[in-house]
Amino acid sequence: MDEKARREFLRLSGVGLAGAVWNPQGAEGQAAVANAGVYDVKALGATGDGKTVDTPAINRAIELAAAGGGGTVRFPAGNYLSYSIHLRSKVGLYLEPGATIVAGDTPSSGVGGYDAAEPKTTWDAYQDFGHNHWHNSLIWGEGLENVSICGSGLIWGRGLSKGYGPGPVAEQAGVGNKVIALKNCRNVVLRDFSVLKGGHFGILATGVDNLTIDNLKIDTDRDGIDLDCCRNVRVSNCSVNSPWDDAICPKSSFALGYARATENVTITNCYVTGIYELGTLLDGTFRRFDPATKAFGTGRIKFGTESNGGFKNIAVSNCVFEGCYGLALESVDGALLEDIAITNITMRDVLVPVFMRLGSRMRGPAGVPVGAVRRVFISNLVCSNTDAGVSSIVSGIPGYPIEDIQINDVYIQQRGGGTAEQAALQPPEIESKYPEPTMFGATPSQGFFVRHVRNLSMSNVEVSAVEKDLRPAFVLEDVREADFFRVRAPGATHGSTFAMKKVEGFSVHGSPNVPDTQLEGAEEKRLRTRGQARGPVVPEAASRSQRLAAGSLSLPRGVSRPERAQRPCRSSRHPPIKEKIPTTTAAASPPQKAAPRKPSIVAIT
């Protein structure tokens, strides 16, 4: 340490709480100085007893490290009660095993507590209070570079506001509402620690570039990780339990005062859930909520809702969803959501496996056009025991279709029980409403509801129902160029696998129990599952003749009902086969059997 840094060290360490308990000229002080750029908060006056406010000692250690050109601030085992901790460039915090930073309760006197929130701006109205402020947090930094928080310790946001409900009100002086808040920083690493009860956000990163978040465990009462207007981000190996809000959430708000895209992001090897009581992911007990508890069970990976700048060039892979909502990709404030790849996803006990929404809420500056959702690829997704009321949804709005979507190698098992009345539902458009998978109510589909979409491809997609479901597997409305290959759907009692309105360029091929079909256009059509009934459902107790007449009795292969024998085939690709009658002569050989009639490959009503 040079003489200038030493003088700064002595100046900082000789005042306040630390000066009363620690002598920088003593052996401990000299050891702290000489320890190769590592600054021990206990050596600098922190008690770690969970009762004494250690904020002055912690911030003093950070300032000393910064004054010395950088270093590591070390937290040995202990409970460090604190208010706002100020990060600095080239300084890392290291939480050793057994170390816990505890967010203090808001002082009842109204004096002290967390740093004041930044002054209000003209663009605050475009996002909520939590997104607009960073300084009123337990740990915060702005305009920094080369910063890290690492180690296997814990950060407990005990005294933080979650932004609603009982407890401290975030907008009031002295109240904190985030565990970690970063604004306009670069080269940041967050690794290995755990977060319990993170306030409104466990981590809010806004305008942060070159950000690495790895091996975190977050058990929280609102959002887990929010990546707002960030570039070049790597999120990996994280577990997040967030029953009342989203787990990992790329956003693109107007909080910086201008629209900035979140782009070049990977999210991989993560577990997200919303089904466990607060704290039980961290302690390993994994206690599920009592059914009477009103937990939202959100806990998902979601793009949005704030969506002014855009989401570009993002990959999500090898992630597990349990007891939460499914994937959500939303552009409702003018954002371009494009070039997204999502693969190797498993889901269990989720609500709405895939929700893709282009809307026109337009919460931002006036004059911005409606955004776009395009070039999204989803593959290798398996989902079991999903709630049946609302299927997966891909929906734009009139005049603004979602474009260029591929969904491949997907298996969705839903609980079933859909009714004929639900199959007849017409979901409202509600273009400007806050986007949520439940925004349309129950869907008329049991697999996918697709509306206002251009260039959709689905292959190797199977929809399965545990209980009988009377809704079509796929409902398409205002869809152009939709190609389905090797799709499988449960045999719906009403006989429709596809229900279509205002569809152009539709095709399905190679699909078990679904006839190969190609349509140039259809105003309103239903495509029946092969072998399903054409007429009304007839009770099993009906006579054979009644069931045969109603079309509910299967006949042996190659045997046609008489009333259908002369029905012309409507497929130009496979015209009816004409039987060849052999010529009878004296020397004729025995009559040959006529070639069996090929069934029609198109069945449209």
Tens-digit pLDDT profile for residues 450-477:
999 999 999 999 999 999 999 999 999 9
Dihedral of the alpha carbons of 251, 380, 233, 325, in degrees to the nearest 10? 30
pLDDT of residue 496: 85
DSSP 246-278: -SEEEEB-STTSS---EEEEEEES-EEES-B-T
> Structure pTM?
0.84
Percent of the chain having pLDDT more than 90? 76
**Quick one: three-class SS letters along 71-102?**
EEEEECCEEEEECCEECCCCEEEEECCCEEEE
Where does the pLDDT of residue 581 fall: very low under 50, low under 70, confident under 90, or very high at 90 and above?
Answer: very low
Percent of the chain with pLDDT over 70: 81
Cβ–Cβ under 8 Å, residues 508 and 498: yes
Sequence-ordered list of residues with C-beta below 8 angstroms from that of 373, at least 6 positions apart, any chain: 329, 331, 337, 338, 356, 357, 358, 396, 402, 403
Q: Is the pLDDT of residue 551 over 60?
A: no
What are 288-327's pLDDT values in tens digits? 999 888 778 899 999 999 999 999 999 999 999 999 999 9
Task: Give me the phi and psi of 548, to 5 degrees please.
Answer: -65, -40
Is residue 507 predicted with pLDDT exceeding 80? Answer: yes
What is residue 295's predicted lDDT score, i.e. its pLDDT? 79
pLDDT at 267: 98
* Confidence band, pLDDT 50/70/90 cuts, at residue 530: low
Mean pLDDT to the nearest integer, 175-200: 98
Query: Could you check whether the bond before residue 266 is cis, i.e. omega within 30 degrees of 0?
Result: no
Lowest mean pLDDT, pick from 79-88, 115-124, 164-173, 544-553: 544-553
List CB contacts of 27: < 8 A, sequence separation 6 or more.
Answer: none
**510: Cβ–Cβ under 8 A, 6 or more apart, which residues?**
485, 486, 516
Question: In 3-state terms, what secondary structure has residue 462?
Answer: strand
Do 484 and 459 contact (CB within 8 A), yes or no? yes
What average pLDDT does the structure give for the chain?
Answer: 86
For residue 512, is pLDDT > 90? no
**Phi, psi of 407, deg, nearest 5:** -130, 110
Give the model's pLDDT for residue 547. Answer: 40
Instruction: Determine contact, residues 60/73, Cβ cutoff 8 Å.
Output: no
Q: What is the pLDDT of residues 16-63, one digit of tens each?
A: 333 333 444 444 544 554 377 999 999 999 999 999 999 999 999 999
Single-letter amino acid code for the residue at 446? Q
What pLDDT score was predicted for residue 111? 78
Q: How far apart, in whole angstroms, are the C-alpha atoms of residue 188 and residue 202?
A: 16
Residue 555's pLDDT is 38
DSSP-derived secondary structure for 181-226: EEES-EEEEEES-EEES-BTEEEEEES-EEEEEES-EEE-SSEEEE
Q: How far apart are CA 153 and CA 190, in angstroms?
A: 12
Q: Which of 40-44, 46-50, 495-499, 570-574 has the lowest mean pLDDT?
A: 570-574
Query: Which structure tokens are listed for 319?
Result: 């992630």
What are the DSSP calls for 485-513, one per residue? EEEE----TT-EEEEEEEEEEEEEESBTT
Which single residue is written with the structure tokens 């100046």? 11
Per-residue b or e along 1-20, where b marks 16 or more CB atoms closer than 10 Å to that residue's CB: beeebeebbeebbbeebbee
Kind plus residue range of the DSSP H or E element containing 336: strand 336-348
Q: What angle do CA 385, 386, 391 make, to 5 degrees?
A: 145
> In degrees rounded to 5, what are phi and psi of residue 146?
55, 65
Contact partners, residue 352, CB within 8 Å, separation at least 6: 325, 326, 386, 387, 390, 391, 392, 393, 437, 438
Tokens describing residue 544 = 């054979």
